[in-house]
Structure 1
C-alpha cells in the first residue's frame, strides 16, 4: 500500500481531523496492533469488547505511524502529538469497513495475478507452498500465517505493491456467501480449492453445502481468462465446476492429484513413485505440464503430496518448469504448530500439530505419525475438534477408530468431546490400559510425564481453542 491522507479519505469516506505536515506523505503499510507499527504505517484503531484500538493511537504515532484511522475522535493531547509527529488523523464511520474499502481501492492498482485459495483442510500449508514455488520466479505477496478472514484478506492485498507479480490470498469462511463477499474486492483471476471436507459442517449442514460455499471462489473468476486449480481426486470437483458454470464461462481448469497409490495421470500435475522417508517426509516424481522432476518435501505426511501438486500446478500455469518447481518445493519449511518436529532435551521427539484440527486433518496427521521411524513408543495427545455440530460425536468416534488403527502405543485424550475418541479407540481394539482421558493441560502433562522416555515420539493435535500449544511448551521445557 502506498496512499496519502487525501487518497485514504477519498477511498474510505473519511475526514481529516489532524492534517499531516506533508500532504504527499504516503502510508506504506497497515496494522491494527500498535506493538507492530513500523515507520510510515497506517494505524487502524479497531474497537473491541476487551481491547479498544483507540486507546493506543498515541503509542502508534510515537512508533512512527504516518497516519491513524479512527472512528472516535482522539483527545486533545493525542491530536497535539499527531501534529508534533507530522502525522494525519482521519475519522471514518467504521474502521472495520474502512480496511475493506482501502483494499477494494488498492486492488485497482495491482497489476499482477491474484490467486485466491480456499478449502476444508490444508489451506495455509498449500498457500505457503504456492508462495514458495512462485517466489522462485516472480515477486510475490501472500497471506501471513492464517490471516484469512474479513481483516486478514484485505490486509494481504494492501501488503502488495503495484509491481508485485503474484498475490496469494488465503480465504476462510464460516458460511455461504462469505467467500463471495471477499472475492467482490479481491477479484482473483486464479482460484485454488484444496479439498471439500467436514470443516464447518456445523454451520453448513452437509458437504454439498460446504462445496457450494467453496465454489464461490471459482464462480468469482473472470469468464474467458480465469483459471481454476482443483483436486482431481475430490469427489466434489465436478459439482464445483457445475456450480461455477466453468465450461459455459470458458474458465481454464487445471487438475492436480497427489494420491500416493492411484494418482490420475491425466491430471495437469500429479505424483508417482510416492514414498516416505524414516521421518515421514514424502519423496516422489513430480509430473507437471508434460515434464517431470524428482521432488523431496520437508513437510511430513502423504497428504502434503496433494498440497505440493496443487502448488506445482499454479507454478506451471505461470510458465515455470518442473525442475524449478521441485527445487522450490524441496526448500519449503513447515510452519510452527503444523507437524513441526521438535527434539526435546529429555530425549523424546514432539510432533507439534497443535495449531488446528478437523476430522480430515486428524486422520492425515495420524497416518503421518504412523509412518515415522521411532526407536521408542508412539504416543498421541488428541483434543476436541470444533464446529461439527450434530456431527461432533460421530466425527470424534471416527478419529478414535483411526487412532486405534494407526499403531499407537498410547493415546491421551483431553476434552469433553475427545472422550468419544477414547471410547471408540477402545471399542476398535486399543487396550483400555493404553488409553487415558483428562480434562486439563496439567492432566495431560502428568500422564506424559509417566509415559515418555528417551526415544519416544509424541503427537499433539486438536482444534486451536483447546490450547494444546501449552502441552508442547510444557514438553519442550
Structure 2
C-alpha cells in the first residue's frame, strides 16, 4: 500500500478529525495491532469484545504511525500527540469496513496477477507452496499464516505494491456467499480450488453445497483472461465447474492431480484433458520420515482433435520437505500455477522442495526425552485428520506411535458420525495408542473400538493436564506422538508441555 491521507479519507468516506502536516505523504503499511506498527504505517482502531483499538491510538502514534482510522475522537492525550507528530486522524463510520474499502480501491493500483485460492483442506499449505513457486517467477505477496477472513484478505491486497508480480490470496469461508463477497473486491485473475471436504458442513449441509460455495471463486474470474485451476481428482469437480460456470464462459482451464501412476492414463480419458495445461504426479513414494518423493509431470495445451495423445510430456524429479501423500496434491496445485506462469519444471521442483511447513502443521519436533512430536494441532477436519493419521502411520518410528486427538469443530449434526469415521480409520492403522481429548473426541474412541481396535490401546482425557500426566508415564525414547485437533481445543499446550 502506498496511499496518502487524502486518498485514504476519500476511499473510506472519512473525515479528518486532525489534519496531517503533509497530506501528500504516503503511508506504506496497515495494521490494527498497535504492537505491529512501523513508522509511516496506518493504524486502524477496531472495536473488540475484550479490547477496543481506540484505547491504543496513542501507542500506535508513539510507534510511528502516520495516521489512524477511528470511529470516535481519540482521548485528549492521543489527539495532542497526533498534532505534535503531524499525523492524520480520520473518522469513518466503520473501521472494519474501511479496511475493505481501502483494499477495493488499492486493487485498482495493482498491475500484477492476483490469484485467489480456497479449499476445504490444505489451503494454507497450498498457499505457501504457491507463494514459494511464484517467488521464482517474480516478486510475490501472499496471505500471512491463515489470515483468510474479511480482515486478512484485504490486508493481503494492501501488502502488495503496484510492481508486485503475483499476489496469492487465501480465502476462507463458513457459508454460501462469503467467497463471492471477498472476490467482489479481490477481483482474482486466476482461481484455485484445492478440494471439497467436510469442513463447514454444519452450515452448508452437504459436500455438494460446499462445492457450490467454493465455486464462487471460479464464477468471479474474468471472462477471456481468467484461469480456473481444477483438481482432476476431486469427486465434486462437475459441480464446481457447473456452479462456477467455467465451461460456458471463455475461461482457460488448468488441471492438476496428485494421484500416482494411474494419473497419466486417466488424463487421456477425461474431458478435462482439454485443459490448456495439466500437471500431475507419478511414482509417489514416502521416505522413512513420511516426506513425499515423486515425478512431477506436465504437458502443454495440445490440438483438441488429437486429444493430447501426442502432446509432449515434461518430467522432473521432486521431493518435498512436507510429510504425507496428501501434500503431493497440494504441490501439484502450486506447480500448475507455476507452469501456467511459464516456469520450467526444474525451477518449480526446486521451489517446492525448499518450502517448509508452518508451526502447528505437521511440524516435527525432536523432544529432549528422546521421543518425537508431530505438531499438527493448528486445525482439523475429518479429511485432514484421516490424512494426518495415515501420514503418521507411514512414518518409520523406532518405538511406538501414539496419537493425541481432540474435537473437530463446525460439523453440526454430522459431528458424531464424522468423529466415529475417524475412529474407524484409525483402527486400521499401525498406531499403538490413542488418547482422545474432548466430548466429541469420545466418539473417535468409540469408533475405533467398534472397528476392532483393542480397548487397552484407547484412553480418554478431559484436560490437557490429564494428557500430559498420561504421556509422562507412557512415553519412552524412540516413541512418536501426533497431536491433532481443531484450534479451539488448544492442544498446542500439549506440544508445549512435552517440549518444555
Match of 1:276 in 2: 286
Secondary structure of 1:156 counterpart:
helix
Match of 2:189 in 1: 189
The alpha-carbon deviation at position 436 of structure 1 amounts to 0.5
Match of 1:51 in 2: 51
The alpha-carbon deviation at position 224 of structure 1 amounts to 1.4
| CA distance, structure 2, for counterparts of residue 87 and residue 80 of structure 1 | 10
Select which of 390, 394, 401 maps to 1:378.
Answer: 401
> Residue by residue, what CA displacement relative to the aligned partner does 1:5-31 show, whole Å, maximum 9, x if unpaired?
000010000011111111111110000
> Residue by residue, what CA displacement relative to the aligned partner does 1:422-469 show, whole Å, maximum 9, x if unpaired?
011111121111101011000111111121100000000000000000
Select which of 453, 460, 467 maps to 1:444.
Answer: 467
**Kept in 2: contact 1:358–1:386 (CA 8 A):** yes
The alpha-carbon deviation at position 385 of structure 1 amounts to 0.2
> Residue by residue, what CA displacement relative to the aligned partner does 1:284-314 show, whole Å, maximum 9, x if unpaired?
0000233211000000000000000000000
1:427 aligns with 2:450: yes
The alpha-carbon deviation at position 211 of structure 1 amounts to 0.3
The alpha-carbon deviation at position 259 of structure 1 amounts to 1.1
> Residue by residue, what CA displacement relative to the aligned partner does 1:191-214 show, whole Å, maximum 9, x if unpaired?
000100000000000001000000
**Kept in 2: contact 1:291–1:321 (CA 8 A):** no
| CA distance, structure 2, for counterparts of residue 7 and residue 308 of structure 1 | 40
1:128 aligns with 2:128: yes
More moved, 228-237 vs 243-252 = 243-252
Match of 1:16 in 2: 16
Secondary structure of 1:72 counterpart:
coil
The 5-angstrom pairing of residues 109-124 of structure 1 reads 109-124=109-124
Match of 1:67 in 2: 67
Match of 1:410 in 2: 433
Structure 2 gaps of 5+ residues are 268-272, 300-312
**Kept in 2: contact 1:260–1:302 (CA 8 A):** no
Runs of 4 or more consecutive aligned structure 1 residues displaced over 4 Å after TM superposition: none
> Residue by residue, what CA displacement relative to the aligned partner does 1:76-106 show, whole Å, maximum 9, x if unpaired?
2211101111211110000010000000000
The alpha-carbon deviation at position 71 of structure 1 amounts to 0.5
Match of 1:476 in 2: 499
Secondary structure of 1:294 counterpart:
strand
The alpha-carbon deviation at position 247 of structure 1 amounts to 2.0
Secondary structure of 1:299 counterpart:
strand
| CA distance, structure 2, for counterparts of residue 409 and residue 102 of structure 1 | 53
**Kept in 2: contact 1:233–1:264 (CA 8 A):** no
Match of 1:286 in 2: 296
Match of 1:350 in 2: 373
Select which of 386, 398, 421 maps to 1:363.
Answer: 386
Match of 2:326 in 1: 303
> Residue by residue, what CA displacement relative to the aligned partner does 1:90-132 show, whole Å, maximum 9, x if unpaired?
1000001000000000000001100000000010000000000
The 5-angstrom pairing of residues 170-209 of structure 1 reads 170-209=170-209
Change (3 A) 1:464 1:264: farther
**Equivalenced residues, count:** 477
Secondary structure of 2:413 counterpart:
helix
**Kept in 1: contact 2:114–2:168 (CA 8 A):** yes
More moved, 258-267 vs 19-28 = 258-267
Secondary structure of 1:298 counterpart:
strand
Secondary structure of 1:191 counterpart:
strand
Secondary structure of 2:322 counterpart:
coil
TM-score for both structures, normalised by structure 2: 0.94
| CA distance, structure 2, for counterparts of residue 466 and residue 413 of structure 1 | 12
Match of 1:88 in 2: 88
| CA distance, structure 1, for counterparts of residue 389 and residue 45 of structure 2 | 42
| CA distance, structure 2, for counterparts of residue 425 and residue 246 of structure 1 | 42
| CA distance, structure 2, for counterparts of residue 369 and residue 269 of structure 1 | 27
**Kept in 2: contact 1:15–1:92 (CA 8 A):** yes
**Kept in 2: contact 1:278–1:372 (CA 8 A):** yes
**Kept in 2: contact 1:232–1:264 (CA 8 A):** no
The alpha-carbon deviation at position 260 of structure 1 amounts to 3.3
TM-score for both structures, normalised by structure 1: 0.99
**Kept in 1: contact 2:212–2:244 (CA 8 A):** no
Structure 1 gaps of 5+ residues are none
| CA distance, structure 1, for counterparts of residue 77 and residue 365 of structure 2 | 49
Secondary structure of 1:448 counterpart:
helix
